[in-house]
Amino acid sequence: MKFNLCYKSYEFKMNLAAMKSFKEATGKDLWSTLTEFIYIYNTSRQKQEHTFVLMKRLSEVCDFIDSAHALHSMAKQCNSKLPIEEIEDAMFHAGWRPGEDMDSMNEPYGLVMFQVALSIDDYFKELSTKKRDQDS
């Protein structure tokens, strides 16, 4: 799996090590945090809220610093030498809201976190389906 921040792609992996790293850094659970991003995004879109409202609500799920820890904890599973400062810098330069020149490579961190959450959800659905099919 990959996420994009400020015109750079980062491979990432969701595993127990990533979850433990995030918990140690923030005291929060990574899965429930990512689930909340999906819930808030979908709820906001159903209500047809303005993009500014969506961005505010996503930042309330997980602030900038904790989101940097989340992305870093998963990305370092694929690149152990990746410094958190690189993730923080990319997030900072991507900005806090979608701009006119936004594309899939420079989305704000709230949208990146939502997309990461969806990717993980899809990954585990696929694993579950494979397991079910093997056991049948």
b/e sequence 49-59, b meaning 16+ C-beta within 10 Å = eeeeebbebbb
Q: Give the chain's radius of gyration (CA, Å).
A: 15
pLDDT digits (tens, 9 = 90+) for 18-37: 999 999 999 999 999 999 99
b/e sequence 2-23, b meaning 16+ C-beta within 10 Å = ebbbbeeebebebeeebbebbe
Share of the chain above pLDDT 70, in %: 89
For the cut 90, the answer to whether the pLDDT of residue 129 exceeds it is: no
The pLDDT assigned to 114 comes to: 95
| Least confidently predicted of 12-16, 28-32, 37-41, 123-127 | 123-127
For the cut 80, the answer to whether the pLDDT of residue 66 exceeds it is: yes
